[in-house]
Amino acid sequence: MEQITALVRSQKRYFKTGETKKYETRIQALKTLHAALSAHESALTEALASDLNKSAFDAYVTEIGLVLKEIRFMIKHLKSWMKPKKVKTALTHFGTKGYIYPEPYGVTLIISPWNYPVQLSLMPLAGAVAAGNTVILKPSEVAPQTAKCLVDMFKNAFSTEYIAVVQGGPETSTALLNEDVDYVFFTGGTAVGKIIMEQAARRLIPVTLELGGKSPAIVHEDAPIELAAKRIAWGKFMNAGQTCVAPDYVYVHKTVKDAFLEALKAAVDELYGDDIAQENTTKIINERHFDRLVGYLSEGHILIGGETNRSKRFIAPTVLTDVTWTDPVMQEEIFGPILPVMEYENLNAILREISDKPKPLAFYLFSKNRDIQHHVVDRVSFGGGAINDTIYHMTTPYLPFGGIGESGIGAYHGQFSFATFSHQKSVLKQTTRFDLPFRYPNAKNGLKRIKLFLK
């Protein structure tokens, strides 16, 4: 892995020149990134179709378009983000001024996943560049055509001492983590996230981990049933359920369960009917995941869907009923187009049940009652979520996106990306016009005066 060592050293040297810290360099890099992504839109769309069978609509709406919007947002606000922030002065620090300087870490390593291989590579990359870092991007080898396209995209846009794309499997990630990088940003599963954190800890490298988990959706008795069904179906079955913030399962109140399931059938037919018939939906990424998901279809009762095609790695949007927490489908994140639906009567009982599980990346509540909304948000710990919607919370640059506990560490998007890839350096500017004598140990009655001063 001598090439990796040489790459990291070249980025270290380039960062130490101070070039990446300049506003002009950062803003030009963001503009170049925007132009390169726009120029490669067609090629990336084809690559996403090859790797995941994504439609042109999904490729733009859930990947390319989101990144372009994020970059434009950063270009607009970067100058204000870079300015040192003056803070209040404590009475005990009379005569001083306090500032926080956002400072780049240096060489950042971004390890991205296969499910949204453009968005989840370039969103953090844009934040790292905006914050003044150099970047090594290691895209997932499981989406090889998209990874190759990203290599081509950056090859002509940036020097490798500034931004480099390195292809390879787990051994490449391990080799990169063994290098003297300054920050690691990883998106993927919880099990691998723990390994990443352990490897980074050996070198005391700070990390952001964007992981996953079983994200619940609750449909309360006062929910707008048809709208809830449509938004849950959209959020769950987008990208064949291979979305870290997809609703993993639904708890629906007993009094509205039948109406909700009928509305869910109608929503699936409306949103995906023609594609299901022609098997044109996003495919499962590989045979291993396909076989794992098909194994869940023997559990509970298949109310909707259940059709599969192994040669196309196709699984129709599927809804399971009559499942319990003891079933394998409820033991791990599904990450596929299978939605278990369970009923409840007592809201507090299921909130306790959810709270006893690992903290999820996302949480969704459908209820028009504000008291219920406040109660649920207060009772359940989760990374982020939405009330009366799914997934939409992660598409705004004004909200941080990230997990908690086993669903992740840290957050990004918009200014939060800039903050994630910046060390907040504290600076106190002291006056020279006078000096407080009682701060020194030889001051007469110094301790007495300090005690009075600190009251």
Give the C-alpha distances (Å, rounded to integers) separating 347 from 221, 320, 321: 10, 21, 19
| Spatial contact of 315 and 293, defined as CB atoms under 8 Å apart | yes
Q: How far is CA 345 from the centre of its chain?
A: 33
Orientation angle between helical segments 23-39 and 119-130, nearest 10 degrees: 160
Active site residue 149: no
| Adjacent-strand bridge partners of 163 | 135
DSSP strand pairing (384-387 vs 362-366): parallel
- Cβ-proximal residues to 319 (8 Å cutoff; 6+ apart), any chain: 261, 264, 265, 268, 302, 303, 304, 305, 339, 340, 341
48: number of Cβ within 10 Å? 27
Contacts 24+ apart (CB under 8 A), 150-156: 150/44, 150/117, 150/118, 150/121, 152/40, 152/43, 153/36, 153/37, 153/39, 153/40, 153/43, 153/44, 154/36, 156/36
Q: Which two tokens stand for residue 273?
A: 């009917």
DSSP strand pairing (411-412 vs 401-402): antiparallel
* Region of residue 241 (left: phi > 0; alpha: psi -120 to 50; beta: else): left
Out of 244, 333, 343, 406, pick the active-site residue. 244
* Region of residue 160 (left: phi > 0; alpha: psi -120 to 50; beta: else): alpha
- Number of helices (H), then strands (E), belonging to the chain: the values are 16, 20
Distance CA 266, CA 277 (A): 15
Give the C-alpha distances (Å, rounded to integers) separating 304 from 21, 270, 290, 297, 318: 54, 13, 18, 11, 5
Out of 70, 161, 179, 210, pick the active-site residue. 210
CA-closest candidate to residue 218, choices 81, 86, 364, 362: 364
Residue 241 DSSP one-character state? G
Active site residue 244: yes
Q: Which two tokens stand for residue 102?
A: 């956002």
Distance CA 350, CA 405 (A): 20
Token pair 């708890």 in the structure block, residue: 251
| Spatial contact of 32 and 91, defined as CB atoms under 8 Å apart | no
Catalytic residue set: 210, 244
